[in-house]
Amino acid sequence: MKRYWSAVGAVLLLGVTATAVPAQQPAPTAEQRAYEAKVKDMLQRQQPQTGDIALPEAKATLHLGKDYYYLDAKAAREVIVDAWGNPAAQADGVLGLVFPAGKTFLDDDAWGAVITYDQSGYVKDDDAASTDFDALMSDMKSGEEERNKERSEAGYPPVHLVGWAERPAYDRAHHSVIWARDIRFGDAAEGTLNYDVRLLGRFGVLSLNMISTMSHLPEVKAAAAKFGGSVTFDQGARYADFVPDVDKVAEYGIGGLVAAGAGLLAAKKLGVLALMLAFGKKLLIPIILFFGVAWRWIKGKFGGNKAAQEEAYAYEAPVESDAETVPEVPAEEDSRPKLSKD
């Protein structure tokens, strides 16, 4: 059953127990009416693209067909900043957004995929079969009780990493990596689904980060599988085009790629955090974007719960970081999978 949130009278399916729809909704405030007018105007001005979408920054093409549509970087920035209420810096480096055909960023049952590209170099896949992802998940969960105690004392609801919604897997034929996490916020009856697709090329990694609720796992999983085979890198930029001793090689393998996408402190345990700091820029934006943006989208875009909105910010990491300014994480905190910068 749909639950009605006050902001724009829209609905968001969170998998809660069915309740009767109130006979009469409170009149929207001036702020809510202004937001509704803004997003309606935004929707009218958007120019969705289907079919083959060229991504020159990644030297790749996204083959969407008619089942999905693409919003370019300008439209994506407007959605991320103006509609979802994120700082402008969080849209930096975003190439676009993908949604299912017939759905918009306001629909309760729609997922959205943020597309980014990291020119970190050729990622070797030698460790794909040997990485212990159960141990990685254990590391990510470690310290959760202590972390949530601190959050409770600060007035924030707990966050529980339930586990892998989809265990990390590497498709050697398409050179793609997928994984998904089930994350439970506060007393929510349903978990939040965070689904990652990473596509490896000669010069870097193309990322599609999808967000929804756990009830939509089959749909998102099917879309992710299609995405895994829907991207082609340009001639000369394909994974197979790698030239040893000439091309740049990334400082991490498949295990490090998943660890970096799972969280900074889990990544640090595999030696990846130092690499992030050394780059001084965005290593993998979806780490940042969807621990912060996604929950604000799901819980904050229609609700007036200030604590919930602030809670989303508590899980953001900086989009850009400089090795000189980002403090080293103390060794005793290495196992905490939080993403906020102290």
d(CA 330, CA 342): 11
Spans of all domains in the chain? 30-333
pLDDT score of 282 more than 60: no
Name the range with the highest mean pLDDT among 14-28, 96-110, 263-277, 296-310.
96-110
Q: Which pLDDT score is estimated for 48?
A: 93
Task: Kindly state the DSSP code that residue 300 receives in the 8-state scheme.
Answer: I
Q: Which of 59, 87, 53 is nearest to 73 (CA)?
A: 53
Q: Which of 6-20, 182-196, 292-306 has the lowest mean pLDDT?
A: 6-20
* Mean pLDDT over each residue of the chain, to the nearest integer: 72
**pTM greater than the 0.85 cutoff:** no
pLDDT score, position 287: 34
Pairwise pLDDT comparison (341 vs 263), residue with the higher score:
263
Tell me: the pLDDT tens digits for 298-313?
A: 334 334 444 433 333 3
- Residue 198: name the closest of 140, 248, 242, 256 by CA: 256
Count of other CB atoms within 10 angstroms of residue 232: 16
Using an 8 Å Cβ cutoff, are 295 and 311 in contact? yes
CB 150 within 8 A of CB 139: no
Q: Each residue of 35-91: pLDDT tens digit?
A: 888 888 888 888 999 999 999 999 999 999 998 999 999 999 998 888 877 678 878
